[in-house]
Amino acid sequence: MSRPRIILSTLNAKYIHASLGLRYLLANMARHGSEELRAQTALREFTIARAPRDIVAALLDELGEAEGVQIVGFGVYIWNVTQTTEVVRLLKIARPAIKVVLGGPEVSYEYQEQEIVRLADHLITGWGDVSFPKLCHALLHGPQPLMKIIVGEQPALDEVVMPYAEYSDDDLAHRLLYVEASRGCPFKCEFCLSSLDKTAWAFSLDAFLAELDQLYTRGARNFKFVDRTFNLKIDASIRILQFFLERLSPDLFVHFEVIPDHLPDRLKDVIAQFPPGVLQFEIGIQSFNPEVQQTISRRQDNAKTEANLRWLMTASHAHLHTDLIFGLPGETLASFAEGFDRLHAIGPHEIQLGILKRLRGTPIVRHSITFDMAYDAQPPYIVQQTSSVDAPTMQRFKRLARYWDLVANSGRFTRAMVLLMQGPSAFEAFMHFSDWLWHTTEKTSGLTPEMLLDAVFDYLTGPRGQPIDIVRETLLADYLASGARANPECLQGLLGQRPAPVSRAASKLQQRQTQHADNRAVGPAGPHQDLVAEAER
């Protein structure tokens, strides 16, 4: 087999993530270039954990010493720009003649001062489905492009070749498959790059479902929809859900991002038909504060949002992954706490505590002076302080968010969470624990499940004054349910003979949901025991 002249590459956050963007480019090489161009193109993915020198060595080995132009295209995102910059630097040192082409959201805006753009030969901003193949054809066959910065051409979606045939059998067996029924978003939330879209564009639903059917026939069972507004058009949403209802299997898992205040009864009727473990909904609440919502141009009916979340928790088996963002302009710690308590009282399976990032190109920057917004200059550009939240408070919240992931969202402390969250304010209760844990350990990483379990025991029996026997019994039940096999200090002599660990072959996504369902059945009463993270975290 001849060596490729073009390599499509990116650094994913984890191996389980398979790049949808690269597969779009690969699928469209033939249509917008030639069959010969497609035959000369290879896809090579890495992870950000891999050393840049090793990545460069792998790329050069793949390309070989073939004569003529060689091209490497990189997908650049907020999570990989630092590592990708080093890869590009080393690649250009090792073989300056290689043409490096960049694309992706991190380099599509405010690119003038970026080091990675300076190092590269070309940058395609925005959509690359048409523009990347055209650029490659010009680099290989002429006429040579004169512009370094190329504004991506946005074709009609029916002109874009869908990428799903580019998922390999190995992808289907071991990775989460990203799919999209639409692109864009009609909403204008200023912290999000999708606020720059003029509208949402839908692929032909018949053609899209035919592609999904081929994936399913090949054995795909994990589907993560990247549509920003899956339930924007209810007729299309129902057809997609019906597609999966007709193909229910024990290992089927489907993830959607859902608009929280748009859930009409006919969509609820279909959602209610799904059994446990199949549906996961990511629901961005971000803030319950009406003034903050207005400031950032976010339209959200809070009453409808609450009612829909309660319906999903009581009348459906969907696993709810809800999001809040701290650090938005005008949001105080107290107002955020009120919103957290409001959401927590509903009892979603996970509350993801994010911190505002100033993504390049987003209009959130217009509030920087008015609200004294100060951001880290390095990716991921996290806000450091605002007029409403000083720097020490921001650091305090960052620790809380980290501990929340380790304790609440991990699903390992389902029963203990009920004890931890007691009090008039759930947020204040966990903040108290977070402050204690920081002063006790002075670390936010390197905390094993056993170390955390012992810490929870010490906190509940110490500062919280809970009876030792009740706390130990609660933590024992949590530890056994988690499937862990070590011996925490506070449970010495209580673990005895334990069942064999769960098979690695089972889907981690469904293991998490199954654990949640089991804990809900046996855990204490109340809305606080069902906080489980999605498996890719």
Q: Please choose, from the candidates 280, 358, 352, 357, the residue with its C-alpha nearest in 3D space to the C-alpha of residue 312.
A: 280
- Give me 151's structure tokens: 């504004």
Q: Please choose, from the candidates 412, 403, 373, 408, the residue with its C-alpha nearest in 3D space to the C-alpha of residue 389.
A: 373
Contact 56, 90 (CB under 8 A): yes
Q: Rounded to the nearest 10 degrees, how much is the dihedral formed by the CA atoms of 245, 246, 252, 255?
A: -40
Looking at the chain, how many residues does it have? 537
Contact 12, 171 (CB under 8 A): no
- How wide is the angle at C-alpha 226 spanned by C-alphas 251 and 171, nearest 5°? 50
Specify the residue for token string 């991506």: 152
- DSSP, collapsed to helix, strand or coil, labels residue 201 as strand
Q: How far apart are CA 55 and CA 60, in angstroms?
A: 9
pLDDT of residue 499: 53
Q: How far apart are CA 282 and CA 134, in angstroms?
A: 36
Q: Rounded to the nearest 10 degrees, how much is the dihedral formed by the CA atoms of 7, 8, 11, 14?
A: -110
In terms of pTM, does the model score above 0.85? yes
DSSP strand pairing (6-12 vs 41-47): parallel
Which portions of the chain are predicted below pLDDT 70? 1, 32-34, 497-537
Q: Please choose, from the candidates 452, 460, 461, the residue with its C-alpha nearest in 3D space to the C-alpha of residue 489.
A: 452
- How wide is the angle at C-alpha 227 spanned by C-alphas 410 and 348, nearest 5°? 30
pLDDT of residue 497: 60
- Give me 30's structure tokens: 């033939």
Residue 43 backbone class (left: φ over 0; alpha: ψ -120 to 50; beta: rest): beta
398 φ, ψ (degrees, to nearest 5): -60, -40
Q: Which residues contact 353 (CB under 8 A, 6 or more apart)?
A: 324, 326, 397, 400, 401, 404, 405
In the beta sheet, which residues pair with residue 279?
A: 254
Task: Give the Å distances, CA to CA, from 449 to 160, 350, 433.
Answer: 46, 18, 16
13 φ, ψ (degrees, to nearest 5): -65, -40
Axis-axis angle for helices 426-441, 449-461 (nearest 10): 110
Domains present along the chain, CATH in parentheses: 6-159 (3.40.50.280), 167-389 (3.80.30.20), 410-537 (no CATH)
Q: Rounded to the nearest 10 degrees, how much is the dihedral formed by the CA atoms of 341, 342, 348, 353?
A: -60
- How wide is the angle at C-alpha 240 spanned by C-alphas 238 and 246, nearest 5°? 100
Q: What share of the chain is helix, strand, coil (3-state, %, to 5)?
A: 45, 15, 40
Class of residue 389 by CB neighbours under 10 A (exposed 0-12, middle 13-18, buried 19+): buried
Residue-wise pLDDT for 35-89, tens only, equals 889 999 999 999 999 999 999 999 999 999 878 899 999 999 999 999 999 999 9
The one-character DSSP state at 258 is E
pLDDT of residue 30: 87
pLDDT of residue 495: 87
For residue 484, what is the enclosing H or E element?
Answer: none
pLDDT of residue 496: 74
CA 40 to chain centre: 32
Using the CB atoms, write b or e for 333-354: b if 16+ within 10 Å. Answer: bebbbebbbbbbebbbbbbbbe
Q: Which residues contact 477 (CB under 8 A, 6 or more apart)?
A: 415, 522
